[in-house]
């Protein structure tokens, strides 16, 4: 079916160009993906189960204020490369892959202070909900993906770092006993800013894409959602915190955990409502790493790991609670090949037996230092087979071709060595990701403790 509908133009969006409109007319609107049965997604046009398979497509640029920390520059107006993006999408389609995951840059408060703004929040003086030129590039990428039959999963961490969202935050009463990263989920001002962001992004994409909104697999509210135990309210085991209309005693482990769990469910429900208020059919997801990756358990955010203070302050959000109690449509759990831990251990650390609904593996990958190419190829296939048998129903490799950053060059990439991994995982050569496991399994996965490109943030203090 060819799409001939004209696109509406949002007042804040700058408008779709004539060339963009022509792209839409030549692209076929894909079927909406919905939540199906048996822990799988479903193609609403055919009624068949849909298994997301593909890559993370990531472009990075060093942060002006902290050159060692790159930001996601995939859609930055000064650096967006439509030809390279189109070539990658074309290659994905030739392998039979059906999904690509990308990151939307909210900007960064420290880079704003350095007079080098980027992303959707283009500087502290910027009073717009989002930079129109940036949104145009996102829409261009989605059109290209639609032309190649590839769904898009954008991850939208934090909210644009600019004056507009500062104003949204300032209108809310400052929180008591909530600091740092924890504000993202426990501070009314930050939650309102997130609601504005998600509603704006969804609305502006509708203005630019029209019926091609069906190209979005889902919107992801957070790449990896977590609390930090070294900031309030969790850094001390005393005092109280009030979130989502209830007050919790931080001296009681069960109440500490309940505060974290209840706050993230309330946050998730509000973000889902913000998206679906603009597009009721659009799925919403959230991502997380596992407890095992950071040496944690759901112990009331004790800050203790093996009898000593934890070196890593992060606690992932409670996936079992979110999948049971929140309005999220699916969940995205991140795991990486690890030579010493089976995937079952990783999943058990997230209370896997209590997890419900659709869970995809939006990041999985392997390090060069731990696996040679042949080991990685076999281990990654084994990972798909094993996780499928355990109830995971989608896999997006980290990454296709990210080579701008030294940390990312430590990882195997999908396109390196003659696209060896791209070929090994390809639906064209392995139509059934759940096929019988390899005769000689090499490894099972778990995330490495290596830095990911961080989300942007307001300068004082920065939500991380």
300: left (phi over 0), alpha (psi -120 to 50) or beta: left
What is the CB neighbour count within 10 angstroms for residue 82?
12
C-alpha span between 63 and 433 (Å, rounded): 37
pLDDT at position 446:
36
C-alpha span between 56 and 97 (Å, rounded): 12
Q: How far is CA 32 from CA 45, 212, 412, in A?
A: 7, 10, 32
**Contacting residues for 1 by C-beta, under 8 A, at least 6 apart:** 28, 29
Do residues 234 and 226 make contact, with C-beta atoms less than 8 angstroms apart? no
Of 213, 221, 223, give the one whose Cα is nearest residue 280: 213
Name the one residue in this structure whose structure tokens are 């050569």.
429
Of 341, 325, 252, 245, give the one whose Cα is nearest residue 293: 341
pLDDT at position 6:
26
Residue 61, H or E segment: strand 60-62
What would the two tokens of residue 223 be?
Answer: 């790449």
User: pLDDT tens digits for the chain (464 residues)?
Assistant: 322 222 222 333 333 343 444 444 457 899 999 999 889 999 999 999 999 999 999 999 999 999 889 999 999 999 999 999 999 999 999 999 999 999 999 999 999 999 999 999 988 999 999 999 999 999 999 999 999 999 999 999 999 999 999 999 999 999 999 999 999 999 999 999 999 999 999 999 999 999 999 999 999 999 999 999 999 999 999 999 999 899 999 999 999 999 999 999 999 999 999 999 999 999 999 999 999 999 999 999 999 998 899 999 999 999 999 999 999 999 999 999 999 889 999 999 999 999 999 999 999 999 999 999 999 999 999 999 999 999 999 999 999 999 999 999 999 999 999 999 999 999 998 999 998 543 333 333 333 333 333 333 333 222 22
pLDDT at position 26:
59
Residue 50, H or E segment: strand 49-50
Of 58, 26, 50, 47, give the one whose Cα is nearest residue 99: 50
pLDDT at position 387:
97
pLDDT at position 123:
87
Chain centre distance of CA 419: 24
C-alpha span between 129 and 121 (Å, rounded): 8
Q: Is 394 helix (H, G, I), strand (E, B) or coil?
A: coil
Q: Where are the alpha helices (DSSP H) in 311-431?
A: 319-325, 343-348, 373-390, 416-425
How wide is the angle at C-alpha 440 spanned by C-alphas 439 and 445, nearest 5°? 115
| Domains observed in the chain | 18-445 (3.20.20.80)
pLDDT at position 27:
73
Q: How far is CA 290 from CA 116, 222, 272, in A?
A: 34, 15, 23
pLDDT at position 122:
85
Do residues 302 and 362 make contact, with C-beta atoms less than 8 angstroms apart? no
pTM of structure? 0.90
C-alpha span between 188 and 243 (Å, rounded): 9
C-alpha span between 215 and 200 (Å, rounded): 18
pLDDT at position 15:
37
Name the one residue in this structure whose structure tokens are 């799925």.
283
């Amino acid at each position: 079916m060819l799409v001939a509908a004209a696109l509406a133009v949002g007042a804040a969006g700058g408008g779709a160009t004539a060339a963009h409109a022509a792209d839409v007319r030549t692209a076929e609107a894909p079927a909406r993906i919905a939540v199906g049965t048996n822990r799988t997604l479903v193609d609403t046009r055919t009624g068949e189960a849909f298994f997301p398979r593909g890559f993370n497509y990531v472009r990075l640029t060093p942060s002006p204020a902290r050159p060692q920390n790159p930001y996601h520059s995939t859609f930055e107006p000064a650096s967006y490369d439509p030809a390279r993006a189109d070539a990658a999408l074309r290659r994905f389609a030739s392998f039979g892959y059906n999904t690509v995951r990308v990151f939307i840059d909210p900007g960064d408060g420290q880079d704003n202070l350095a007079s080098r703004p980027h992303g959707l929040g283009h500087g502290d003086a910027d009073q717009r909900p989002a930079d129109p030129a940036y949104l145009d590039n996102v829409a261009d990428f989605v059109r290209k993906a639609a032309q190649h039959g590839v769904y898009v999963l954008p991850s939208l961490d934090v909210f644009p770092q600019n004056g507009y969202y500062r104003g949204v935050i300032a209108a809310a009463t400052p929180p008591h006993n909530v600091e740092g990263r924890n504000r993202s989920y426990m501070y009314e001002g930050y939650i309102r800013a997130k609601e504005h962001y998600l509603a704006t992004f969804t609305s502006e994409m509708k203005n630019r894409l029209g019926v091609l909104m069906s190209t979005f697999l889902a919107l992801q509210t957070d790449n990896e959602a977590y609390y930090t135990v070294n900031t309030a309210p969790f850094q001390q085991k005393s005092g109280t915190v009030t979130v989502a209309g209830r007050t919790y005693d931080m001296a009681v482990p069960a109440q500490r955990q309940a505060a974290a769990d209840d706050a993230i469910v309330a946050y998730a429900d509000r973000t889902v409502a913000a998206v679906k208020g603009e597009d009721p059919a659009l799925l919403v997801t959230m991502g997380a790493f596992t407890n095992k990756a950071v040496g944690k358990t759901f112990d009331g955010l004790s800050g203790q790991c093996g009898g000593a203070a934890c070196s890593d302050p992060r606690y992932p959000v409670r996936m079992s609670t979110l999948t049971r109690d929140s309005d999220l449509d699916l969940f995205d759990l991140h795991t990486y090949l690890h030579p010493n831990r089976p995937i079952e251990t990783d999943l058990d650390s997230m209370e896997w037996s209590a997890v419900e609904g659709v869970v995809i593996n939006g990041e999985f990958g392997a390090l060069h230092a731990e696996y040679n190419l042949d080991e990685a190829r076999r281990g990654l296939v084994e990972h798909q087979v094993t996780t499928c048998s355990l109830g995971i129903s989608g896999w997006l490799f980290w990454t296709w071709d990210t080579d701008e950053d030294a940390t990312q060059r430590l990882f195997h990439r999908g396109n390196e060595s003659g696209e060896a991994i791209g070929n090994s995982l390809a639906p064209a050569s392995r139509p059934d990701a759940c096929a019988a496991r390899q005769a000689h399994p090499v490894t099972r996965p778990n995330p490495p403790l290596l830095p990911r490109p961080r989300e942007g943030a307001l300068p004082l203090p920065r939500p991380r």
